Amino acid sequence: MQHAFITGAAGFIGSTLVDRLLAHGVSVTGWDNLSTGQLRFLEGALRHPTFRLIEGDNLDERALSAAMRGSDFVFHLAANADIKDGWSHPRRDLEQNTIATFNVLEAMRANGIKRIAFSSTGSVYGEAMVTPDKPTPETDPFPIQTSLYGASKTAGEGLIAAYAEGGQIDEAYIFRFVSILGERYTHGHVFDFYQQLRDHPQLLHVLGDGTQRKSYLYVQDCIDAMLHVTHTRTARDAAHHTQIYNLGTAEYVDVRQSIAVICQELGLQPELKFTGGNRGWIGDNPFIFLDTKKVRATGWKPALTIREALIRTLQWLQSNPWVYDVRSS
């Protein structure tokens, strides 16, 4: 990899990947429509001589193809990740996730780019079919989809695999993430809980009943995994030129445990008010825990526990209150 193209380059994960690739001597073209990404995340990268940022939308296939010219690897990270409010704008998942992925693949084909890494999600498993309390492997049969987000990402995976099978891609890496935590985090339960506790430290409203169990992964560990796998080029000789990897930790926490970590760090003991039920919203899976044996077999393992990742996320939010002003504007 000499010149990477990153969609969603100004986002939480994308900007972190930009910094890491530049540090490794890789030239980077960042692509972002800045609808949720933050230029502030790219302040260091914008001073780097081998980085350029192009503002554009994945729905503009012609501009996307022109921007991608000269790259030899694509990291497709841009997406609408709003699961909770998906039914308020159902077309958004189709356009920003599925059609956008098709446009990325067509832009790659126009430029002769044969390698891609795609940020998918553990949500594609819906309510996983494995034995309760056991982690879900990549080979688990897909159930009925439970969210528009998961369905749109499943469609994106299918398109990528079809392009690889059709000889348009030599190496396709599909990464099914758990929720990612860490610096530059601007969306999710830690963001929401801390915002509430800043405004009223004595009371915390919680969706569901607090028993929802989820796994999480620190953002730098996520980047380590993607770069490690793509460097070892495991998809090059794989069947269908496609490799799928779950990314997560070998543990999970429930919502009450997350709250306990956050409140302990803040020195608070708020009253908890739950909305009830074993899920927070339509499409919220009450148990997400991915089997990561496959990626661990390549030599990767996470450095941080979920607790450590939660604390780092909270500390970053405390040091960067501006993200709340940006999100509310």
Hunting for tokens 């126009």 — which residue is that? 110
Rounded average pLDDT over 282-303: 92
Give residue 277's pLDDT.
86
pLDDT greater than 60 at residue 328? yes
Quick one: DSSP state of residue 81?
A: -
Task: Output the pTM of the full model.
Answer: 0.94
pLDDT greater than 70 at residue 66? yes
- Say how far apart CA 237 and CA 133 lie, in whole Å: 34
Burial of 48 (0-12, 13-18, 19+ CB in 10 A): middle
Rounded average pLDDT over 254-262: 96
Confidence category of residue 329, pLDDT binned at 50, 70, 90? low
- Say how far apart CA 320 and CA 221 lie, in whole Å: 22
Burial of 79 (0-12, 13-18, 19+ CB in 10 A): buried
Give residue 73's pLDDT.
98
Concatenated DSSP letters of 129-181: -SPTTSPBPTTSPP----SHHHHHHHHHHHHHHHHHHTTS-SEEEEEEE-EEE
- Say how far apart CA 66 and CA 231 lie, in whole Å: 26
Confidence category of residue 143, pLDDT binned at 50, 70, 90? confident
Quick one: DSSP state of residue 311?
A: H
What is the dihedral angle through the alpha carbons of 134, 138, 143, 144, rounded to the nearest 10 degrees? Answer: 120
Give residue 113's pLDDT.
98
- Say how far apart CA 218 and CA 317 lie, in whole Å: 15
What phi-psi label fits residue 208: left (phi over 0), alpha (psi between -120 and 50 degrees) or beta?
left
**Ordered structural domains, the chain, with CATH:** 3-180+215-247 (3.40.50.720), 183-214+251-287+305-328 (3.90.25.10)
The set of residues, in sequence order, having a beta carbon less than 8 Å from that of 14 and lying 6+ positions away, is: 6, 7, 8, 30, 32, 37, 75, 77, 78
Hunting for tokens 């430290």 — which residue is that? 201
| Range scoring the smallest mean pLDDT among 9-23, 107-121, 223-237, 278-292 | 278-292
175-195 residue pLDDT tens: 999 999 999 999 899 999 999
CB 147 within 8 A of CB 83: yes
Rounded average pLDDT over 300-309: 98
